[in-house]
Chains A and B, each alone.
Chain A
Amino acid sequence: MNKTNIFITVLATIILLACDEIPAGKRTTNTDSSAFKKPVVVVDFTGVDCTNCPKAADNIKSMHEQVGDKIIGVAMYPDCSFNHHSSFDLKCPEATEYYKAFGDISKIVLPSGMVDFANYNNQPIIDYTLWNSAVLQRITLDVPIEVSLNASIIKEGDNPTRKIEITSKITTKSAVSDNTALILWLIEDGIVGYQNDGGNPRNDYTHNHVLRTAINGLWGENFSVSPAGMSEKSIIYETKENKWKLENCSVVGLVINAATKEIITAGKAKIS
């Protein structure tokens, strides 16, 4: 083999090795869903004037369809240029504060979000295309605590009021220090209004799991359970916002590490 042929052979080998062609049929590998253990909260920072945000919402919907209540999606509309639409407003102050707690709101890029308020690849707020990967890191964790909720509208006679009774039950397998807190969120489904959907302005878009307020404060209330066991607490919450349709609302309860703000576990209950 002369020098030219050797050169061509080496060159062809290098070129072949420098390129990974993945044929159709070999582009995915299945993972085991039986390892999914704990509920995971996907916080979707979004905006009514954010053209790709409907794709992020579809991502949450798709995850929910696969694993049901193990995915709790919450859409937060922070005060930024994506949410300054004059006639349709889903902003809430808590959404802005949550974004500021983890990112620089002056350089906000949407759609983006967080999974369990935890870092993914050392980033707190991540692009929506990475949510699946971040969820899979969290959903397989075995945590020693569970939260279940019950929420119902208080009636006066036959008439519903704007008051909700919320009962939260926390069950632990081991003692929990007072560095743990419980946050209660009120979220609303089925809000029809404006959305920039891929560059098309729509006023018939349905916004779901929209954060309306943090019922017991931005970072909730600390609690401790000692020894392992169960604690139950009921509160009455009255909302002054008449435009919120309580029959479409749910309560989300998050157990967080009060120091890192990382969500340990969560639960959700529709208001009955």
Chain B
Amino acid sequence: MKLNFKVIAYVLTAFLATAVCKRGLAQEGPYLSGSIQSDMLFPQADSVIGTGVVNDKFLSNTYLNLNFGSEYVDAGARLELLNKPLPGFEKEFAGAGIPNLYVTGKFKNNSLTLGNFYDQFGSGLIFRTYEERALGIDNSLRGARLFLQPYKGIRFKLLGGFQRIYFNYGENNAWGFDFTQGAVWGSDLELNINEWIKYLQDNNWNVMLGASFVSKYQPKEDIYRTLTEKLNIPENVAAGDLRLQVQKGDFGLLAEYALKSNDPSADNNYIYKKGSALLLSGTYSRKGLSAMLQIKRSDNMGYRSIRTQRGSTAFINHLPAFTQTHTYALAALRPYATQPMGEWALQGSFGYTFKKGTSMGGKYGTTFKLNASYVSGLKKSYITDLEGDEPLISGDPNPKYDIKGSDGYTAPFFGFGETYYTDINVEFIKKFSKLFSLNATYLFQQYNPRVIVSEPEDIVSSHILVLEGKNQFSDNFGLRYELQYLLASPYSGTNDPTASTYRKPIERTNQGDWVFALVEASLFGNLMVFGQNMYNIGSTKLNYYNIGVTYNLGAHRLQVAYGRTRAGYNCSGGVCRYVPAFKGIQISYNMTF
């Protein structure tokens, strides 16, 4: 819905009144809940870190959620105020309105939703709609979703609608129903077989069989291979998914396979090759010990509701990342972004807690964690002939000829291409006394800039050491501190500024070694003060400092910080957004009720 300032003021007033009055409602029966999230920046120019010219004095991303719940009906809406968004969001992201609106009718274990909804089939290989505000992702469908549990062990979903793409409200669609040009619909069925077979129940087996189907419709459009050859574009592109999940005691197993029909798009340079994904995962978990091993192969599985779209929007599916998301600053310096055009990914993890009283466990116990991830490309051979004849150029990741209209390439199933990413890390967590505990982490990472961020550099290898200490002196005073060091492989390019391939240090992916330090003090249970600095010892010799204070009071959280943020990638679940360098005062406010 397109709004003017009067309407926004009314909605804000109603929201705040509801938030205040909500406490008066009984806990049983209908309830109201909601949240406010506002991230603000007062930017400053800083040519040293490359902020560029700063034209705006104030930037913010603000979200207001309001939800109503009861025994039979739920409803909700979200107001977004993104007129001047934070740095790093594309121009189409800006806007203001109510892009999320829904009402759900519930009866027993069944429900029908009209409006916006989020859902996922299996691991999300063919369908996942979700919201990730830090990345500016909201690919909800606006339509209808039916959920049925007609019999024990059976879960059935049928859904369809139009996908949200920014604030795409046109002149003739004040309610915002003209989302994408096309529609997405699908169905998912899960059968928990153990509910029907007594032997499985008696022996604690959980066995689930699942099947999903999704199709997207987008009208044909004029896309040409050459000026005299127009592509015959499929209007309907379908995908299917089969999965088997088994859980027995401490063991778990998941096998999932997805297939997508021909889907020529900007992502794959308009080839007609089918897409596929295979995922295998095994887990073991009991008190004090956990292990996991999983493998994924995906090929041409970018699946969007708009075939010409680029960037991180309009995806119907989500390929799970098989890499660990790090919170330590230097470990997260070069995060991996899942490659929708194809990759092999392997991940394994192991965790063990040495018991108290043992030589390794000490008085309080010691936790050990090991995680390893490896991602590579597929072994592709590109073809050019429209009938899919013999490949002319083998293994060239950047074919010069036009492969539009062909099957694109062949890739043997067990063929591994070049390394994209490696991450092996070991962590020890030990509490030495009531007052002091220590985390020690070592990481080895390999990062391929050419593939992940299209930068002309060879693979960057890093050894990273992290020490994190915590002191809890009393209930009102605690300290946390971190010291991190990153040792990088030598830069693959030239340091000769007169050479034609010379790149300025600040533009490089590999800027050499880094050191990071953080001190954080918790006071009186609800106040936290922190100061940190990340210094590049390598090629730039720049400091990225940050100081701030956080205050929590009940449902309210306020953080005020000032400092520099380095240009880089913000990633979550394998999806990344580039954030340019910025500096200034940052304020974050969150409230839930």
List A residues at the B interface (Cβ < 8 Å): 15, 17-22, 24-33, 36, 49, 51-52, 55, 58-59, 62-63, 66-67, 81, 84-88, 104, 106-107, 109, 127, 129-130, 132-133, 135-136, 139, 193-194, 196-203
Contact = CB atoms under 8 A, between A and B. Distances in A.
* SS class, residues of chain B in contact with chain A: loop
B398 to A, nearest CB: 3
B226 A62 contact: yes
Given A21-B261, A86-B497, A201-B501, A130 B229 contact: no
Contacts of A25: 386-387
B507 A31 contact: no
A196 to B, nearest CB: 5
A135 B185 CA distance: 34
Interface stretch (B109-117, B262-270, B295-303, B473-481): B262-270
Nearest to A203: B500
A26 B223 contact: no
B286 interface: no
Contacts of B55: 106
B238 A15 contact: yes
Interface in B203-224: 213, 215, 221-224
Question: Max chain A CB contacts within 10 Å: which of B215, B224, B266, B454?
Answer: B224
Contacts of B71: none
The 4 closest A-B pairs by CB, nearest first: A198-B398, A199-B450, A20-B234, A19-B238
B229 A31 contact: yes
B500 A87 contact: yes
A193 B503 CA distance: 14
A22 B234 contact: yes
Given A129-B223, A133-B222, A21 B262 contact: yes
A32 B228 CA distance: 7
Contacts of B316: none
A199 B454 contact: yes
B74 interface: no
Contact of B272 (A22, A31, A33, A59): A22
Contacts of A199: 397-398, 449-451, 454-456
Contacts of B272: 22, 24, 27
B405 interface: yes
Interface residues of B, number: 58
Contacts of B386: 24-25, 27-28
B198 interface: no
Given A30-B228, A62-B226, A24 B387 contact: yes
B304 to A, nearest CB: 14
A136 B227 contact: yes
Given A31-B224, A49-B507, 6 more contacts: A21-B262, A31-B228, A130-B223, A133-B223, A199-B397, A201-B503
Nearest to A25: B387
A138 to B, nearest CB: 11
Contacts of B35: none
Question: Max chain B CB contacts within 10 Å: which of A17, A33, A59, A196?
Answer: A196
Contacts of A106: 52, 55
Contacts of A19: 215, 234, 236-238, 261
A59 B402 CA distance: 8
A28 B225 CA distance: 8
A84 B504 contact: yes
B326 interface: no
Contacts of B215: 18-19
A107 B90 contact: yes
B238 to A, nearest CB: 4
B499 interface: yes
B413 interface: no
Given A24-B387, A25-B386, A84 B507 contact: yes
